[in-house]
Amino acid sequence: MLRGAHEGQLTAVTGALTAASVLCQVEPVGRWFEAFIKRRNINVSASFQELEDEKELSEESGDEELQLEEFPMLKTLDPKDWKNQDHYAVLGLGNIRYRATQKQIKAAHKSMVLKHHPDKRKAAGEQIGEGDNDYFTCITKAYEILSDPVKRRAFNSIDPTFDNSVPSKSEAKENFFEVFSPVFERNARWSNKKNVPKLGDANSSFEEVDAFYSFWYNFDSWREFSYLDEEEKEKAECRDERRWIEKQNRAARALRKKEEMNRIRILVDNAYSCDPRIKKFKEEEKAKKEAEKKAKVEAKRKEQEAKEKQRQAELEAARLAKEKEEEEVRQQALVAKKEKEIQKKAIKKERQKLRTTCKNWNYFSDNEADCVKMMEEVEKLCDRLELARIMLYIYFATQKEIEEINEQIRREKEEAEARMRQATKSSEKLTTGGGGGSKNWPEDDLQLLIKAVNLFPAGTNSRWEVIANYMNLHSTTGIKRTAKDVINKAKSLQKLDPHQKDDINKKAFDKFKKEHGVVPQMDSAAPSERFEGSPLDSSPWTTEEQKLLEQALKTYPVNTPERWEKIAAAVPGRSKKDCMKRYKVSFSYPELVEMVKAKKAAQEQVMNATKVKK
Amino acid sequence: MAAIGVHLGATCACAAVYKDGRADVVANDAGDRVTPAVVAFADNEEIVEKNGKLQYEIDNKLISPEDVAKLIFSKMKETAQSALGSDVNDVVITVPFDFGENQKNALGEAAAAAGFNVMRLIHEPSAALLAYGIGQDSPTGKSNVLVYKLGGASLSITILEVNSGMYRVLATNTDDGIGGVCFTEALAQHLAAEFQRSCKHDIRGNPRAMMKLMNSADVAKHSLSTLGSANCFVDSLYDGLDFDCNVSRARFELICSSLFTKCVEAIKKLLQQVAFTAEDINKVVLCGGSARIPKLQQLIKDIFPNVELLSSIPPDEVIPIGAAIEAGILLGKENPSLEEAALFIECSAKDILFKGVDETGADKFMVLFPSGTPLPARRQHTLHAPGNTSSVCLELYESLGKSPMNEENKFAQIVLQDLDKKEDGLHDILTVLTMKRDGSLHVTCTDQDTGKCEVITVEVAS
């Protein structure tokens, strides 16, 4: 039992619920569990079942609501003119018409019969028409037509309330969808196929619009016009007449059907031509095509460009390759030329050498005539022979030289021996003479002695004997010396001032020079060239030269072409390089620095030269 | 359309079929409604039947429990199909509540191996509830049911909450140490003592003689459930001596009194565990063969004096019948198998009550929307108010369990004003409470006479 509310108490929520739902494990049994799971799976509320029940209920009540009021128009109906009556209206189904179910038609007819049956009305004291003339006939007829599916379809086809009109193009210019949507919707009822596509709206996709128009252009209508047949087959009296009637009817129906199809066709045509979406799609299509075309052209152009580029690249590559080749050829030619020059130079040098050698040796002959002849020969050789041959000749020449030298040495030896013999004779006389006995000591021996002394330094085991031995072994004079002699001589040599030593050395060198006159020349031949132009060679600048240089520098300013050549020309006896160097030195560094630098440069040059040699 | 429910217990198996809206236990080819869950492996044939008990031995063969279960299922299938006369494979199988996932799977596979199409495995206590159709008629209301199952080898007691036709296990306890076998054994021991007294032979060490006595005691035990006394007669029990003894029900109860106490104590313990009193239990369902024992039933009745003791269905058939009913419910379902998650459903956490007045004018709280109601749910009540008032106030409270109500628990009030006064009569107030899955509540109050209506929505505090 609830209590009454206090004064001023109102509906209110004073607080929230403190606990949310909790998860509980339930036993998976029973129909309520199944129902719950099913509900949960299809995600509907608890009232799902109830709603379904309600729905069923409402449908049933809906059927019952189809109650009919009084239809005053029924009384106005002419039973003779049943064909032109609206059967739905007669049965009170004017509001649902073709959508009425058979059940509804039956129910409507029943209630009509209950209300309008002549017997009932008679009992109510109403005036009844005679026989078929009573309006009840219309009800019967209406039911007859509507209860038969074929006849009902025939009647539906010519439904008098159906609007057959087709909107014209001009009507639909502004509001296409508003005008055409209802038209298509109401015509959709004639379709044999279910799920007639809707007109849609401005945002419909191309596929939808396409499907819509293809459906309507292939519209399959069940509408037929047998209801409008002029003649009634049943009225025919004989078979021939019936056939004739049938033919007439068929022709009429076909005509009407054609008209109907035409109507639909016009409708769809009008719609199609007015449809803004079609326009849009066409434009889009056009744009797309254009874009494609453009893209194609672009692609082609690009392709061509690429081709051109490739071709040019190839050409460039070929050109580069060619250039490179040429460069190589040129380099090779240069190298060859250089080599040739070098060879030429070498030949020249060798020729010169040959000539000199020949000359030195008086062309290996003594008399003038031979000399001249030889000279000619040598010249001829020099002209004709290759470098290698010349070198070979030189080699032969030197061989000859060596032989000659050997010969000379041999002769000298003989001479020396002869002299020695004399000397020994005299030395034997002078043995007690002590001292230097330098006469006993020819230069060769002295040299040998010095060499031996150096070879066996102090501290060597029985040094002087060894030296004496060595002397005896190596001496060319053939004089036998004892250790004592050697000591005496060595001591006397030591006592002698270094001047004498130098003298001896110098003498030795002179002798060597005399004997090997050609050799130093040969040696100096090769490096002489290399050291050519070495800054070491540059002699110091005289004041006159300096002055000249300064004058030249003034005369030829910096921007003069080939300035240094001209300057060099202005300073006699100085090369361009010398001038440049001097210029640098005199205007930037003191002479000493320049000298150091020059030295360094020389060293580097030597090193470079050795490297080159390697 | 027919389906089978199978209960496979530790000692016995029983099959029930569901056909034409009815579930009934089918008797096996020997005419027994319960088949011992025993498989005898003889030399060349496997026998599943009552006589198997004596032949129970596995000679040097290792047999997995699944194989045994499979053979028993095959037998059950045969039995059911011969009773139905048609090939039926759809089955619901019961399992003890304490079965783990692996055990369930093993049993399901065994059943599948036996040729069954297992639609679902359900727990024994819920099958027992289903057998009595508890909560199945109307999906409203809430009650607590105690399932007392004393099987052949175990005692299990389960308390379930029935809410909106759905069952929820609140507490359960299984004691494997006590079962029907204990009673038989106690009786057999008594008989042995009797034999010793009369023949001066102690046969307790003789297994063969003890087995004979056990069989005799078993028969006597069954008889004593219906008769006042039973005669135990064993031919040539020992040493050619016949044994004849009459056991009265009173004696049997005396012999087993300690066992009975044990059986009943378990109930009290479980009630304590969930803090329930005997009044909180609305129904007690008895199942398991030993629940037939009159003394036991009486002891249980003593604990629950005001509670209906459901034993109209033979207790050893309750569970298979429940299984068969479930099979009938699942029959024709496209996909009867369930995901584990489907078993967890949102329920309301608290009771929704309103404060009214009783006849004496004192405040009285009444539950409108009980806790544990599966959501979403709608509850509809027609409340009454004295006709001489022009306004009615519905005060809504929430509470958990039996905690006392105070003003803090009040969360809303609905006031209907300007009602037509009726001197002799009552205002009928239609109150509809709808709770969504998240726990938010929607209450509509409508006066049936004037059509005045008030609506509130209460959200859950976040």
| CB-CB neighbours of A555 under 10 Å | 12
Model confidence pLDDT, tens digit, residues A26-52:
888 888 888 888 877 776 544 545 555
Residue B38 Cα, gap to closest chain A Cα (Å):
29
The answer to whether the bond into B376 is cis (omega within 30° of 0) is: yes
Q: Residue B440 and residue A17: Cβ atoms within 8 Å?
A: yes
Q: What is the ipTM of this complex?
A: 0.84
- Residues B281 and B271: their CA atoms lie apart, in Å, by 9
The gap from C-alpha B376 to its chain's centroid, in whole angstroms, comes to: 27
Query: Dihedral angle at the C-alpha atoms of B170, B176, B181, B184, nearest 10 degrees?
Result: -90
| Chain B contacts in chain A segment 272-331 (CB below 8 A) | none
Rounded Cα distance, B31 and A13, in Å: 66
Name the least confident of A138-147, A379-388, B103-112, B210-219.
A379-388
Contact check, Cβ <8 Å, B130/A29:
yes
Residues of B in contact with A31 (CB under 8 A): 136, 165, 329
Number of independent structural domains in chain B: 3
Answer with the one of B275, B302, B332 that is the final residue of a domain: B332
> Cβ contacts (< 8 Å) between B329 and chain A: which residues?
29-31, 34
Q: What is the pLDDT, as a whole number, of residue A33?
A: 86
Coil, strand or helix at B163: strand
| Average pLDDT across chain A, whole number | 75
Residue B95 is assigned to a structural domain of this protein? yes
Q: Is the pLDDT of residue A559 over 80?
A: no
Query: pLDDT tens for residues A398-433?
Result: 777 777 778 888 888 888 778 777 766 655 554 444
- Alpha-helical regions (H) of A456-482: 463-474
Give A535's pLDDT tier (boundaries 50, 70, 90).
Answer: very low
Tokens of B67: 């194989």
- B298 and B173 together in one domain: yes
| Residue type (1 letter), A546 | Q
pLDDT (0 to 100) of residue A61: 45
Are residues B167 and A27, on separate chains, in Cβ contact within 8 Å?
A: yes
B165 and B246 assigned to the same domain = no
Q: Looking at the structure, do residues B246 and B266 belong to the same domain, yes or no?
A: no
Closest to A202 (Cα-Cα) out of A96, A102, A276: A276
Domains in chain A, CATH or no CATH each: 28-59 (no CATH), 74-157 (1.10.287.110), 176-274 (no CATH), 443-509 (1.10.10), 557-609 (no CATH)
Chosen domain end from B297, B332, B367: B332
**In contact, A442 and A477? CB cutoff 8 Å:** yes
Alpha-carbon distances of A154 from A101, A184, B183, rounded to whole Å: 16, 21, 87
Q: Which tokens in the block code for residue B362? A: 């004192």
Q: Please work out, in degrees rounded to the nearest 5, the angle formed at the alpha carbon of residue A459 by the alpha carbons of A455 and A463.
A: 60
Contact B35, B79 (CB under 8 A): yes
| Claim to verify: residue B409 and residue B352 sit in the same structural domain | yes
Residues B165, B201 within the same domain? no
For residue B143, tell me if it sits in a domain: yes
Cβ of B126 and A1 within 8 Å?
A: no
Angle formed by the axes of helices A483-495 and A463-474, to 10°? 100
Residue of A5, A9, A36 with shortest CB distance to B374: A36
Does one domain contain both B135 and B173?
yes
pLDDT surpassing 90 at residue A583: no
* Least-confidence region, from A16-20, A54-58, A546-550, B85-89: A54-58
CATH number at residue B230: 3.90.640.10
Interface test with chain B among A32, A42, A50, by most B beta carbons within 10 Å = A32
Same domain, B200 and B327: no
Q: Using one digit for the tens of pLDDT, what is the confidence trace for A433-453? A: 444 444 567 777 778 888 878
Find tokens 């949102």 and name the residue.
B346
Q: Which residues of chain B have pLDDT under 50?
A: 50-57
Record: contact B415-A11, CB cut-off 8 A: yes
Q: Give burial (CB, 10 Å; 0-12/13-18/19+) of B402.
A: exposed
**A142 touches A87 (CB < 8 A):** yes
pTM: 0.49
**Same domain? B207 vs B323:** no
How near does any CA of chain B get to the CA of A142, in Å?
46
Enumerate residues 6+ apart whose C-beta is below 8 A from A181.
A198, A199
* Residue labelled with tokens 């080819």: B29
B342 occurs within a structural domain = no
Q: What are phi and psi of B349, to 5 degrees?
A: -90, -30
| Alpha carbon of A13: minimum distance to chain B alpha carbons (Å) | 4
Contact B109, B24 (CB under 8 A): no
Q: Do B345 and A15 touch (CB under 8 A)?
A: no
pLDDT one-digit tens code per residue, A64-106? 444 444 556 677 777 777 777 888 888 877 777 777 888 888 8
CB contact under 8 A, A15 and B410: yes
Position B78, amino acid:
E
**Chain B contacts in chain A segment 37-76 (CB below 8 A):** 37, 40, 45-47
Biggest alpha carbon–alpha carbon distance for chain B: 96
Q: What domain range is B138 assigned to?
A: 2-177+258-332
Shared-domain flag, residues B313 and B394? no
Minimal Cβ distance to A11: which of B139, B346, B413: B413
Residue B413 distance to chain A (closest CA, Å): 5
Please check whether residue B416 lies inside any domain of the structure.
Answer: yes
* Domain-embedded: residue B337: no
pLDDT value for B1: 73
Do B115 and B135 fall within a single domain? yes
Strand B241-248 versus strand B229-238 pairing type:
antiparallel
Collapsed DSSP state (helix, strand, coil) of residue B58: coil
CB < 8 Å to B166, chain A:
26-27, 30, 32-33, 36
Q: What is the pLDDT of residues A297-333, one digit of tens each?
A: 999 999 999 999 999 999 999 999 999 999 999 999 9
